[in-house]
Every structure is written in C-alpha cells, then in structure tokens.
A and B are shown apart, each in its own frame.
Chain A
Amino acid sequence: MTKLHDQISRRTVLGGGAALAATLAMPGVLRAQEPKSVKIGILQPVTGNLAQDGELGRTGAEYAIKAVNDAGGIPSLGGATLEMVFGDARSTPEGGTAEVERMQSEGVAGIVGGFASPICLASSQAAARYDLPYVVDVGVSDKIVQRDLSNTFRFGPGFGTCSKTAIENLVKLNEAAGKPARTVVLVHEDGLFGSGLAKLMATELPKYGFEIFETIAHPTPARDMSNVALRIRSLKPDLIIPSSYYGETVLLMRTLYQQRVRPMGYYSVLNGAASNMRFVKEFPEIANLDMDCNHWHDPRKEEAIQLKKAVEDAGGLWAYNIPLNYSCVKLLADAIDRAGSVEPKAINEALAASTFEGHVMPYGPTKFDKGQNTGAAPVSLQVQDETIKVIYPEEFADAKPVFPISG
C-alpha cells in the first residue's frame, strides 16, 4: 500500500505536463541518495467546477517542493526532502475532508491548499481533529480564521483586508489623478466571494465620496451578460468594479466592450480574469489598462521573477495561485525546519511564531495573529503592454498607473 502511494505521489510530482516533468527531473536524482523525506499534503480541487484554480495551485506547490529540495531540503532534519502527497478535493467540502483523512493516514506533516472557502472551512476542521497544521492558500472568507483553531493558518489576506486595501488604493489612484471618478457600478457573482466583497464595498465606498449607482449580482455560470451591460451602458458610471470568476468576467468585459461602454476605468477586486494572463493573451485590446486588486507576487523579488519565467517557459500561464501556493509551501517547510520535527504541535507552534520572509509575495515578514498573517495584503494591478504590472502600493510597484483611461 505504501509502495503504491509512493508511486502515485512520485508520479504526481512528476506530472502536470511533460515540460514540467523535465524541469522536475531533479528530485529523482536526489531520491537516489535517499535522505529521509517529509511528506506534506497538497490539497487542491483539480476536478469539478474549480479545476482551473486547483491546477494552478498545484503547479505553485510543485515548484516550491522542488525549490526546497534543490536547496538542500529541511536542514534541521538532516536535509530531509519534501515529498508531495497530492489530494484532489473534487471541488467539494466532503471531497476535501476525505483527502485530509487520507493524507493524515499517510503521515503528512502538514497540509497546504484548499482554494475555495467552503473547502478550506471543512478541510481545516478535519485537520484540526489531529491538530494537523493546515495552511490556507486562498480561501478569503474571514470565518476561516475566526474559529480559534490552533492548526489553521492563512498566509494570504481575507475579505476584510482585501476590500480595505482595494478601497485605499482606489482612493489614492483617484486623488492622484485629480478625483475624476465619482460614480460606481458594482458587478459581482452571487456566491460567497462575490457577494461578500460587494457588500463590503457598498458600505465603504460612499464614505470616500463615491456614489454607488447600482450593485448587480449574477449567477455562476452566467449564460448572458447583455442585460448587465445594458444597465451599465444606461447608468454611465465612471468606474466599474467587477468581482466574478474568470468565465463570467471575460463574458462581461467582452459584452461591455462590444456595447461600446468605455468607463474611466475597470477596477476589479479579487477578480478571476483581470489578473489572469490567459485573458490578457486572448483579448489584449479588452484587457488593456484593466485594474484589479488581487493577490500577486512581489515583482522586486528575484525568486518570484525566476518562478514566473520557469512557469512560462514550461508553457504555463501565470496567475496568483502559483506564487501564493509556492509561498505557502515554503512557509510550511520553514516551520518544519524551525520545529526540527514533524510533530504537529511543534510545527503549529513554529507557524504561530513564524517571521518567515523567504516567500515571493509582497508581504514583508510573516506574523500570525489568531491564524491570520497580519502582513498579508493584496496589491493593485494594471494590464499594461500586454502584461500585468503592480501599480499600488508604491513600494512594490513596477509601473505607474494609467488613469483615467482617455477615449
């Protein structure tokens, strides 16, 4: 049984496309020397509705495992290498729970991932039964870190922080341009993530002098955005703020473009498309100058640039899930190293006391408060010259914002 799993997880590490397999050929060499290995669970939804995000998350985790192993594994454990135990959460909470149980039975030292909030909520709770360390990669629902679970750590920012930062950056952006934008339409998907964000934005934005013309919810999947576009066209807002998944955002932006809606700017929050290179590549003229407040790598960090290059050279498309999962795995590896053991309690304590800086996100040193990394924040991005640039905050920016869009 163990043998079978070893094969599966080896294959999993080596999987994910032939090109990736080539870049990952190294672990095989390392394995030949047979140092001890530490198993870590990578939980992502790679089938079902969330498969697109799950696949990106897995890619990030695989690169991190390779990076850690190439750099000599876990020093305090005699250079033990990380070994991935991959689990497909099948885009459901019960799927995630079942995989957590399997990972626990295979002796993982900790788990990274989950992606969607419902999966993260159920999976981290299942892991909590064993006090098994669980690092949430995305899951933005703030309920995740409000349960006093001693095993659950969210490295990235939650709703509260995301919308707060998004608003701050928007206000700065607008003021720097001489306050041209006053009116806003919010468009959001009607699930947990879109509704939650829209609600926060709708209460916060008016405090900064913005007028919300309308908040439009749409289902996922949406079959048609013509009516949303129609209403926006008649309202003529200065700004459009969409929070939706990839497919719907693309549909919305295409329809708005076709309907000749040309606002001063698109400023989305945690959007599925505006910071996805596929969108930029497939529809360069529509994506041009779109802004998004989202998770993103730190463009000043050499390691982040190298990772992005490696992913793109292997034929992959860059998205925030990759650096975020990459960083989460490295964070866990660092905690295991400082714990000097694979005991859950020791690793949890090490995570709780973490000041980890070796990540590729624009966060500064890690500091957990009740499981939430207080240093985590999203950045504001803009599509410029068919690539995605950071425009705010200034200390991480690699481009100047273009706003308002003239024309």
Chain B
Amino acid sequence: MSALRPYLPVIGLGVLLALAPLFVTSNVALNFLVFTLIIALAAQGWNLLGGFGGQFSFGHAAFFGVGAYVSAIWQMSLGLDAWTGFVAGTLAGAVTGLTIGFLAFRAGLRGSYFALVTLAFAEVFRVLSNSSEATGGAAGLLLPLRIGAQNLQFADRSTFLAFVVALTILVLLLVQWIRGSRFGAQLVALRENEEAARALGVDVFAVKLKAIGLSGAITAAAGVLYLQYFLFIDSNIVFGTWISVEVLLAAIVGGLGTVLGPVVGALALHGLGELVKHLAGDLPGIDLAVYGAVLVVAVAFLPGGLVGLFRRKPAPRQVRKTAPEGGRV
C-alpha cells in the first residue's frame, strides 16, 4: 500500500480522465479534450526536462514537429502503417532530443543559453521543412483520410479521446515512477544545484541527456497525435513557436516539476481560453487580452502553479538564476 501511495493522485486523475470518453458525448467537449490532452502530453515531455531537471527549453516544437513529420513521411512516402509510424515518430523525437542535448550539454549550456539554443534548433527545422521536398515544402502534408483503427484514425472523436487518455495515463504513471526513481532524484538534485549534484557523484551530463531524450520522445508522441487527429501538418503548425510556448505555459501554470501539473495546467489554460471566448463579445482580440491578463494575475497570486494550491506544505524554493552570472552592461 505504501508503495502505491505516491501513485494515488495519478490514479485519481487517470480514473477521471478515463471516464471522460464514456460520459462526454458533446463533440465540442470531446474535441476540446482531445486537443487539450495532446498539448498536456507535449507539456508532460517539457516538464520532465524543464520542471524536474530545471532545463528550460523554448524549442520543444522541434520534437513535436519531428514526431509529426516522421510519422507522416513514414505513412505517405514509405507507405508503412500508422502504428509503426507512431513508434517511429516517438523514437525520432528521442533521437532529436539526444542530438540537441548532446551538443548543448556538451557545450555546457544552461539557463537562458540552453533555452535560446533549443529555440534556434526549432527555427532551423521550421525553415528547412518549409523548403524541403521531402516534407511537402510549404504546402505541408495532408494525410489521406482512411478511417480505421489500423490507420490510427477513428470514426468518432470519443475513440480517439480514449486513445489519447490511455497514452496520457501511461505517461503520467511513467513520470510518477521516474519521480520516485534514482534517476528522478538525480534530476531534481541537478535542478537545485548542479555543482552540488556533481560533487555527490551524479553524472550530470548523462542525466541531462537521458532527460532530454525522454522529453523529446514524449513531446514527439504528442506531435504524432496531432497529425493523426487533424490529418494535416505544415512547418508553421508543427514547428511553430506557438507549440513551444503552449507546452511551457501548461507545465508552469499547472505547477513546475509536479506530475499532474501539465495536465492540470493545459486543462485550466484551454478552459480559460474557451471561457473568455464566450464572455468577451465580438471585438476581435478582447478575449485573448483578457486571457493574457488572467494569466498575469494568476501568476501573481499562485506563484507555485495550480497544483501548488492542493499541497499541504508549499515547498519553499530558492530563487535561482537561470543564467550564469556575469552579464555585463
């Protein structure tokens, strides 16, 4: 029982999510849940690296896009099936993560420097995929509509939701397990103080690499889901900065470095987005302005994220510098 105890919140949220496809019938709500959970999943990937490991990335679009493009090319150009495409896309995300991680961490990049290099990689991928023939160039790739479970395309939205929910629960369990594992402890240790972690014998480079590989895989899986759901991708959609921003927003708003944070954050942000859309009338932009304002106010009053609300003892956290000191004016 005690071994299961840390899993209780995850199981609780998992059960709630699992009930959704059974009880939600409105397609508006189903569509909302599917898209929100795709973002939540991508954010879960970001959280593993950024939340637990303290390595903020501004370029998770790189992984999201690699997953989507690899799976699309796998199916369209190579004529292979969607399920292996899902696996291929996810693995490609891991490889991309390892490559970027190897270069960036080898160079000792941290804080803002790491954030900006990831952003640059995502932009390079965006520009390349926009001009390369293999990725369909600027026209993007339109996955042919072939409804059938073998093609990972479902006739109704609730089946797709069930699939996304299953994946989300799987990843939640995985992250919860990592959190309790030795690897998880090492990650948190290097977030709190990299030098101290190193002094304690943690192989910082290897731990970071492992984290970014896993992170890339999870976010790439979300990219594949986006492809399978909307059946159309182009460079500005899957490599666009919007997705990099969405995932870090969801993870931070939900609660940095918490297991449930990304899911809670994505649901809250998208819920808020829908709410203001209904309330703010028709002058374009007002709803999004309200959204932004609520975000600022929420940060002011909930500095620990939403999940922090439910913690009995808010864990005091040191104010860290994201960047090495020495910026000179």
Contact = CB atoms under 8 A, between A and B. Distances in A.
- Do A and B come together as binding partners? yes
Interface of A: 4, 8, 11-12, 15-16, 46-47, 51, 54-55, 86, 88, 92-94, 97-98, 101-102, 104-105, 118, 121-122, 125-126, 129, 141, 143, 147, 190-192, 194-196, 217, 219
A59 to B, nearest CB: 12
Nearest to B274: A98
Given A8-B282, A46-B284, A94-B35, A196 B138 contact: yes
Interface string B307-326: 00000000000000000000
Interface of B: 26-28, 30-32, 35, 127, 130-131, 137-140, 142, 144-145, 157, 230-232, 234, 236-237, 242, 277-278, 281-285, 287-288
B28 A94 contact: no
Given A8-B282, A11-B282, A98-B32, A192 B231 contact: no
Contacts of B138: 190-192, 194-196
B27 A105 contact: yes
A194 B145 CA distance: 26
A125 B27 contact: no
Q: State the majority secondary structure of interface residues on B.
A: helix
Contact of B28 (A4, A15, A93, A102): A102
Contacts of A105: 26-28
A367 B4 CA distance: 65
Nearest to A14: B282
A88 B237 contact: no
17 contacts: A4-B278, A8-B282, A47-B288, A51-B285, A86-B282, A97-B230, A98-B32, A101-B32, A104-B27, A121-B232, A125-B145, A125-B230, A141-B139, A143-B139, A192-B138, A195-B137, A196-B139
A102 B283 CA distance: 19
Q: What 5 A-B pairs come out closest when comparing CB atoms?
A: A46-B284, A195-B138, A15-B282, A12-B282, A101-B31
Contacts of B144: 147
Contacts, number: 88
Chain A interface helix/strand/loop/mixed: helix
Contacts of A16: 282
B131 A190 contact: yes
Contacts of B35: 94, 97-98
Nearest to A5: B278
